[in-house]
Each structure stands twice: as structure tokens, then as C-alpha cells.
Amino acid sequence: MSLNAERSYKMKLRDVENAFKYRRIPYPKRSVELIALLAISCTFFLFMHTNKLNSRLKEMEVKLQPSEFSALGLTGNHISGHDAGKHDDINTLHGTYNYLKSTGQLKNLNPNRLNNTKYAEIEVLFFNRAAKVGSEAMLELFIALEKYNDDLTLEKHGLRTRAHRQMDEMQRRDSAEFVADLEEGTFYIEHINWLDFDEFDLPKPIYINLVRDPVERVISWFYYARSSYKNAIEYQKKPNLKIKSQSWYKKDFNDCVRSGDPECQYVPHTVKDAFPNFKRQSLFFCGHHDDCM
């Protein structure tokens, strides 16, 4: 191929490439307007969701502040996404925190004072789990920790017991002695009210527990009591147990409360409920005495 022919070929090739590179495809005017409208709508949609996300992040930032909030009896529930950006407003959680911090009222509230683990006398973790607070998930964590750490042991005896809501002195002593005799590095988990180890001159373990919104917790228990899983286990253990009516299984919590059904009533200072359903979350942190009721 001659030099001129080769140059002519390259110029044609370049023209073809430019034609594809800078090609313009005509669109009807209506289509252009539609594309512009979609672009504006998407931009507005992203703006709204970004603004909402920013509010939620502000709320999470407040919830993740140091433990002074808990000590003050304040929680992230006191601040809404709408108020999350008002850092200087004393009516918001973040504003309250900054105000108390600026006035020096938070000096005595530090993690060292709020930490009770340092008062433990034996390295036994006692999880006297409150009912329906997520203890099953915590149990899975214990199982995983035991699997990957040879120095840790999960004692499952408590999973097979069902202690009375209020135990007499002998029962409390037996439970406390059982926990105190466990080897160091043991996780022990059981549905049981708080035990006073000082009452029996026994070494104190490391206590942990979980809490949950009290209303959500009662609702969770209400429907858990009607689950096929729970009832299948109960009927397997007690074949002669009377089967509840179909209406009981289909009962709605809201209707149960509004109708005055004894199952859904909370009567303060009542020693014995019509239905044993762990309404009193505070008992797991107070103990077995009548004053805890």
C-alpha cells in the first residue's frame, strides 16, 4: 500500500471513529422533557432520603453517647429525627447532655463508678435472664464463645430449670450455692430473679442481664405463649395437659387489654397474677422479697 493510500485509509478510519464518538441522536421534544422530569424527581427523592438518613444518623449519634445518658435516666427515645439537628435545644437529649456537661453536673458520672463487674469475687458470669428480652440470642453468643475459647464453659443446667417467681430462703440458698460452686470461666444462664449472695456469705459472680421496652416485652410474651413451638414442648413434657381452645390461640392482644381480660391486666402489688406471664421485668433485678412486687 502506498504512503498516500495508507494516509487516506487512516483519515477515513478516524472520521468513522469520530462519527461514533460524537454522534448525536435526535430525540422528540416530549421525550427530552420526560427525561428532565425524571432526573429532577430522582434528585428530589435522593434529597429526601438523604435528609431522613442524616436525621437517623444524628439520633444514633445521641444514642451512642457515653453512659452518662443512662445514668441520668435518659435514652435515645427522648429525641426524634426532627429534633436531632437541634443540638443547642435543652429539650433535646443532645442539648441536655451538652448543658449538663457545660455546668459540670456530669463529673461524678463516670464508667468506673457505674461498673459493677469490679465488685465480683469469682470469675463466673451469671446471666439471670429476664424473660423475652433477647436471651436466646445471648445464648447463641455464649455457645460461639465456648466453641472458640477452651477456657470458657457454658453451664446449661439453668436452661432445664423453671424457678418459681419468688423463692423461699432454702431455694435461694440452693441456687446461690450452685452458682458459687461453678468453676471460674463458666457462663451460667437461667430465668431467675436476682439473688443476694451476701445473704448467704457466698462470693458474688459477675451479673449481667438485658432489658426491653416493657410494653413490647409483654406483647412479645403474649404471642410467644401462643406459639406452636412453646406449646409443642409443653404438651410433649405433659401429655395430659388440657389443650387450650382455638379462641385462646387466636386472641388479639389489643382486644385482650380493652376487654379487661385478666391475662392482659397489670395489677400493681399483686403477689399472684391470674396468669403467670412475667409481667414484672423489675423482679429480675430486685429479688424474691415482697417489697420487690
**Rounded to two decimals, what is the model's pTM?**
0.60
Phi, psi of 273 (to 5 degrees): -80, 160
For the ranges 10-19, 112-121, 270-279, the lowest mean pLDDT is seen at 10-19
pLDDT of residue 126 exceeding 90, the answer is: yes
Q: Which of 191, 269, 288, 289 is catalytic?
A: 191
Rg (CA), the chain: 32
Alpha-carbon distance of 213 to 12, in angstroms, equals 76
Is residue 250 within 8 Å of residue 239, measured between CB atoms? no
- CA 250, 253, 256: angle at the middle one, nearest 5? 90
Task: For 19-55, write each residue's pLDDT tens digit.
Answer: 555 555 555 555 556 666 666 666 655 666 566 666 6
Could you identify the residue written with the cell 392482659? 264
Is residue 146 within 8 Å of residue 152, measured between CB atoms? yes
Is residue 122 within 8 Å of residue 201, measured between CB atoms? no
Task: For 195-220, write each residue's pLDDT tens digit.
Answer: 999 999 999 999 999 988 888 998 99
Res 181: pLDDT: 95
Strand-pairing partners, residue 207, are 126
| 191 catalytic residue (yes or no) | yes
Percent of the chain with pLDDT over 70: 59
Strand-pairing partners, residue 188, are 126, 155
Per-residue cell: 207: 451479673
User: For the stretch 263-280, what's the b/e string if a residue is b when 16 or more beta carbons lie within 10 angstroms of its beta carbon?
Assistant: ebeeeeeeeebeeebbbb
Task: For 68-116, write each residue's pLDDT tens digit.
Answer: 444 444 444 444 444 444 445 545 556 666 766 777 666 666 677 767 7
Closest listed residue to residue 157, CA positions, set 131, 133, 177: 177
Judging by DSSP bridges, how do beta strands 186-189 and 153-155 pair with one another? Answer: parallel
Percent of the chain with pLDDT over 90: 21
pLDDT of residue 163 exceeding 80, the answer is: no
Res 72: pLDDT: 47
Per-residue cell: 75: 435514652
